[in-house]
Chains A and B, each alone.
Chain A
């Protein structure tokens, strides 16, 4: 019987053929740990009682959830995280100055390679599937165990295949594909515990920023991982980021899938998920006129250079309306610098948009633009549960960078396509 790609990667990582449903102990290639879980993970690692790390080169530390420290408590936690990083001599430590949001930092620094097992202490580690890796979130205890022995147990997931045909149409992005798939699979329903494999001719029309946004958001379906087999787009993205060689792997022709969906990309339109459910998705055009008073472009789902460029296109020579607040947080320091060099930041700031240093910001309601009571926000983030971005009395609509920027410009939800025609 043939194997799906996720089964093949897990087989490779445990040295024998595995089957869906089996519980296996697999070798981990890379473990990413964020500031929020770092101090606890190191503390638990020390409790295991082995004095040294299994392999310090497989560990990547990223300070992102607490930003640059918004109060004394978070500042001290970042310090504790930094102290552990120094104590254990972790080379890949993305502290202030090299910072960014964990999943973007992993991708842009060539730390995620195709066919590897790459995990992180954040539920959106499904993002690594954009580069053809098996990526999923792990807890602090699991991180501690991986630090000690380089392995972790997984139940091998069965797979769902999503076959994309056609081409990503004008005005639609990876985020729109993600919203479409989340609406099909539901939140924590059909795809619970499963691998979601995205393949087909249509995948070629998705660039790496689209793929990262897509695999990121599939976490909302309850899937264990989301994977796009590595292809030319992957190879060209990895280009000079990594010199490591990898083999081309894909699912067997006769691989078994629990379900197969076909999506014709040509039929997609810009979508919006309405409060308070990520799977409650409607075409932006049907929601036109819905009033908003805040907009956020950032998080591990978005905030990449191509997305900032879209906001620039929409806002060039224009102004944000009165009473509207818009915040853009680039997803890494590298991207921020690129955007500065390209003159993007000047255009955005002249439009009245607040641009802030890279961090998870208000996505999880922690800091930097937390939503107050009564806020109605359109956001490029991945979750819109009640209270997720701040007040339980706020409302979050999820959409692509284009829909977010165009809606911010009008102070109400709009289909962004009319703004994307200008040069």
Chain B
């Protein structure tokens, strides 16, 4: 994670977007997890406009996801949802809360996931945002409003800065 300030357009969703909504079961791959394959179907079942449309999220121009509570729930330990979202070009996910596996898997794959309660109710789909992860705020460009977010803990930041848990482990094994 070289960039701690992310500017971009937001896709806005509701509460309880499950792992299955992020990447429908019929789109799962079983021998590898390639963002360039999974990315085609990111959020397919979370947005009616994305149904059966390849690269719908990427082509919408959104690079930020904003959602309600329990993002990525449904109890799945699989990492496909994270690779789908990364493959579609998403740089940060902000939500009221995250499901346990979604939070861990995002951190482990260097996708910033940030708790920012109430943000989804302050913005519209397609709004431009500036997310400052170190200073801990989001700016909504259309309204000029600022909203505080929960900054990442140092350990989580370290994993992300290494490029994910595998790269972090590799670095520590070889040092």
CA distance A89 to B50 in the complex (A): 45
Interface stretch among B6-14, B56-64, B86-94, B104-112?
Answer: B104-112
B140 is an interface residue with CB less than 8 A from chain A: no
B155 in contact with A23 (CB, 8 Å): yes
Query: CB within 8 A of B74: which of A44, A77, A80, A385?
Result: A385
Contact across chains for B155 and A141 when beta carbons are under 8 A apart: no
Tell me which residues across on chain B come within 8 A of A222, comparing CB atoms. Answer: 70, 73, 75, 99-100
Q: Are B18 and A138 in contact (CB under 8 A)?
A: no
Distance of A335 from chain B, by nearest CB (Å): 25
Known: A23-B155, A142-B108, A385-B20. A137 touches B79 (CB 8 A): no
A48 within 8 A of B: yes
Known: A80-B31, A141-B108, A149-B173. A122 touches B73 (CB 8 A): no
Contact indicator A40/B33 (Cβ below 8 Å): yes
Does chain A have a CB within 8 A of B39? no
Q: Is A50 engaged at the interface, CB distance under 8 Å to the other chain?
A: yes
Point out the residues of chain A lying under 8 angstroms from B155, CB to CB. Answer: 23, 153
- Contact pattern, A 141-153, Cβ under 8 Å of B = 1, otherwise 0: 1101100110001
Complex Cα spacing A385 to B25, Å:
13
Cβ–Cβ < 8 Å partners of A148 in chain B:
169, 173
Contact: B25 with A365, CB < 8 Å?
yes
Total interface residues on B, CB under 8 Å, equals 36
Asked if A77 contacts B30 (CB within 8 A), the reply is: yes
A179 to chain B, nearest CB (A): 16
* Per-residue B-contact encoding for A122-142, CB less than 8 Å = 1, 0 else: 110000000000000111111
- Whether B166 pairs with A123 at a CB distance below 8 angstroms is no
Q: Are A138 and B77 also in contact (CB < 8 A) when A222-B99, A385-B20 are?
A: yes
When chains A and B are docked, how far (Å) is the Cα of A188 from the Cα of B96?
A: 13
* Contact yes or no, B79 A140, CB < 8 A: yes
Contact across chains for B78 and A193 when beta carbons are under 8 A apart = no
Known contacts A40-B32, A141-B105, A188-B70: does B77 contact A121 (CB below 8 Å)? yes
Q: Which residues of B have CB within 8 Å of A383?
A: 75
| Residue A264, interface by CB 8 Å | no
Could you tell me if B173 and A39 are in contact, using CB atoms closer than 8 angstroms? no
Within 8 A of B (CB), among A226-285: none
- Checking B16, B31, B101 against A123 with a beta-carbon cut-off of 8 angstroms, the contacting residue is B101
B143 CB-CB contact with A under 8 Å: no
Residues of A85-122 at the interface with B, using a CB-CB cut-off of 8 Å, are 121-122
Contact of B104 among A39, A40, A142 (CB under 8 A): A142
Interface string of B40-82 (1 = CB under 8 A from A): 0000000000000000000000000000001001111111000
B170 within 8 Å of A by Cβ?
yes
Which B residues are in CB contact (< 8 Å) with A140? 33, 78-79
On chain A, the residues within 8 Å of B165 by CB distance are 141-142, 145, 153
Contact B75 A123 (CB under 8 A): yes
Q: What B residues does A387 contact at CB under 8 A?
A: 20, 25
Contacts of A139 in B (CB 8 A): 77-79, 101, 104-105, 108
Name the contact of B153 in the complex, choosing from A23, A48, A122, A138 (C-beta under 8 A): A23
In the complex the two chains form, is A188's CB within 8 Å of B166's CB?
no
| A141 and B79 within 8 A (CB) | yes
Tell me the complex Cα distance, A50–B25, Å: 32
A37 touches B78 (CB 8 A): yes
Partner of B100, one of A44, A144, A192: A192
Chain A residues 136 to 192 lying within 8 A of chain B, measured CB to CB, are 137-142, 144-145, 148-149, 153, 187-188, 192
- Contact (Cβ within 8 A) A48 B173: yes
User: In the docked arrangement, what's the CA distance between A43 and B79, Å?
Assistant: 14
Known: A122-B77, A220-B75, A222-B99. A48 touches B30 (CB 8 A): no
Interface positions of A from 43 to 63, Cβ below 8 Å from B:
43-44, 47-50
Provide the residues of chain B in CB contact with A43, threshold 8 Å.
32
Report A-chain residues with C-beta under 8 Å of the C-beta of B104. 139, 142
A219 contacts the other chain (CB 8 A):
yes
Report the minimum CB–CB distance from A96 to chain B (whole Å).
Answer: 18
The distance in angstroms between the C-alpha atoms of A220 and B16, with both chains bound, is: 14
Closest to B69 in A: A188
B169 surroundings in chain A (CB, below 8 A): 48, 145, 148-149
Contact flag A141-B164 (CB < 8 Å), given A43-B32, A222-B99, A383-B75: yes
The 3 A-B residue pairs with the shortest CB-CB distance, nearest first, are: A137-B77, A123-B75, A188-B70
7 sampled A-B residue pairs with Cβ under 8 A: A39-B30, A40-B30, A73-B30, A77-B31, A139-B105, A141-B165, A387-B20
For the complex with contacts A139-B108, A192-B70, 10 further pairs of A-B residues with Cβ separation under 8 Å are A37-B77, A48-B169, A80-B31, A139-B101, A141-B165, A141-B166, A149-B173, A187-B73, A188-B73, A192-B100
